[in-house]
Structure 1
């Protein structure tokens, strides 16, 4: 069915391109050729890079200029027509939707996966389990030292490390714990998820907050290298967990089974107005083999890819 959808979209795109040539305008892109700008929060860099590269591998005439920006900036790029698609953790709000409505652009929103914000700590820090209640006290400013936590093994202050002042990681965590004022918190921001990882490696008192796809692809050498010498914290929704099994990490099964508390959706937002390259990529990701890449990166695809196996005697 997914291949049929792509084929139909390709035919429609080709017809649209031929029609546009007749009135002196440049041909429109279609699902198999053209060039568009894709914007995404930097926390999704491994995911977006692999998905767009795989699609271009199938269609060599399909080209994606991928731009990584903080989530709000990426969405703003799409609203002002500087990007065709956005990978984001939320849908458009009413004010943003109104901008497209004013221009009579219907657009599209497609949920493609469930992601998780991973909490990483230095290998020297053996306190790798934390509850949502404990995190709440940290973001309330009541808990400031590792020694105040149930399993705390050091007396140093807790440093919270994020990739950017306006990143989806920071926005998601602040919203989750209802933080209105960050001035009283010991928060340090870098310029990327990779720099968060480097910071945590050098600072045993830090907790880093990163997109899990940066460290969850066991087949990707960079992902394996980045995950070295780090601990991924287990997080529990229970107030008083009694055993290790009460804590969960942001990896595939626990995301899919909704056991990991700090999980979030991944959407593709589109402003496309014709059957174009953006729609082709969305179909590939949401309804075709793109879900295999999502699964390979440790996220939970919204629609698993159906693999047919023929058994013969």
Structure 2
């Protein structure tokens, strides 16, 4: 009798567990290739991700809402558990990801592309070459003869965080360092003001809006000193070799905890089509897309 009761209790437990699991799965409104999700995106890399979404939505019955924000804002929203998908140029720290650890959600990180931070000046300033050490010293509050000010897109952006790490500082100087709302405002300001160095995501220079191209044409992308003493620009070749000093990796951070649209979109961007889009954008794919070579059987005789 006791054995029968025990088996009945085990059976009820299994049924309840299965029922709860089914309820959890059914509550997820998205699948790998269908549904609707929100993805936080670092504003410095937004253009290329917008291109990816446009192609992805054209192929699948899915809606992806991109929310462009600064790195600091994204990390805050993730750490508060308000969102579970983000595209950044770094991973979360243990403290930042604690809310997901408490939910027993293991993150899935997908490497999408190699990106770079570009330094720009007004065309009239001529051919200026810089060392990241010069910018670091300037951010430490010391003047430099090569330029009179630094311009960032946002005080909370990933470009500011990157340069703070290079300079070894916690706060930006109160003088001669300026911040705006986005990368386009930085480019426009530098195009109208001599002696300033703008710090932007290179994608904004490679993929400007058609009406913004003339403004981009009025700035110069600076050559930056490498470890071996040469100076290079953030071209695809130099970014791919990671000889350009300010190179970084774009990552998809997935804390959904199930096989949802976040996983599907990350796989798309990291796949053949997505990597071709990366390549055409001016950034560097994590793996080079295949090339179709057509071999002609006959050689035409041109007379």
Q: TM-score, normalised by structure 2?
A: 0.84
Q: What does 1:166-181 align with in structure 2 at a 5 Å threshold?
A: 166-181=156-171
Residue 194 of structure 2, aligned match among 200, 204, 221: 204
CA distance in 1, matches of 2:259, 2:268: 14
Query: Which position in structure 2 is the counterpart of 1:34?
Result: 35
Q: Which residue of 2 aligns with 1:138?
A: 138
Give me the whole-angstrom Cα distance separating, in 2, the residues matched to 1:183 and 1:132: 17
Query: What secondary structure does 1:118 align onto?
Result: strand
For the pair 1:115 / 2:115, whether they are aligned, the reply is yes
Using the TM superposition, name which of 35-44 and 95-104 deviates more: 95-104
Indicate conservation of the 8 Å contact 1:70/1:164, yes or no.
yes
Question: For residues 1-313 of structure 1, what are the structure 2 equivalents within 5 Å?
Answer: 25-26=26-27, 28-59=29-60, 61-144=61-144, 148-149=145-146, 158-183=148-173, 185-217=175-207, 221=210, 224-237=213-226, 241=229, 246-313=230-297
> What per-residue deviation string (whole Å, max 9, x for no partner) do you get for residues 168-227 of structure 1?
011111112212342365110100001101111111121100000001138x63574452
CA shift at 1:82, angstroms? 3.2
Separation in structure 1 between the aligned mates of residue 25 and residue 111 of structure 2, nearest angstrom: 37
Unmatched segments (≥5 aa) in structure 2: 1-20, 298-303
Compute the RMSD of aligned alpha carbons: 2.4
Work out the CA distance in 1 between the residues paired with 2:132 and 2:24.
60
Distance 1:49 1:223 in 2: 17
1:242-264 Cα shifts (integer Å, max 9, x gaps): xxxx2111121110111111111
Query: Larger radius of gyration, structure 1 or 2?
Result: 2
Aligned pair in 2 of structure 1 residues 237, 111: CA closer, same or farther (>3 Å)? Answer: same
Distance 1:115 1:80, change over 3 A: same
Report the CA distance shift for 1:102/1:206 in structure 2 as closer, same or farther (over 3 A): same
- For 1:208 and 1:182, locate their aligned partners in 2 and report how far apart those are by CA, in whole Å: 15
Give the gaps of 5 or more residues in structure 1: 1-18, 150-156
The Cα of 1:272 is off from its aligned counterpart by 1.8
Aligned length: 277
Q: Give the C-alpha shift of residue 38 in structure 1.
A: 0.6
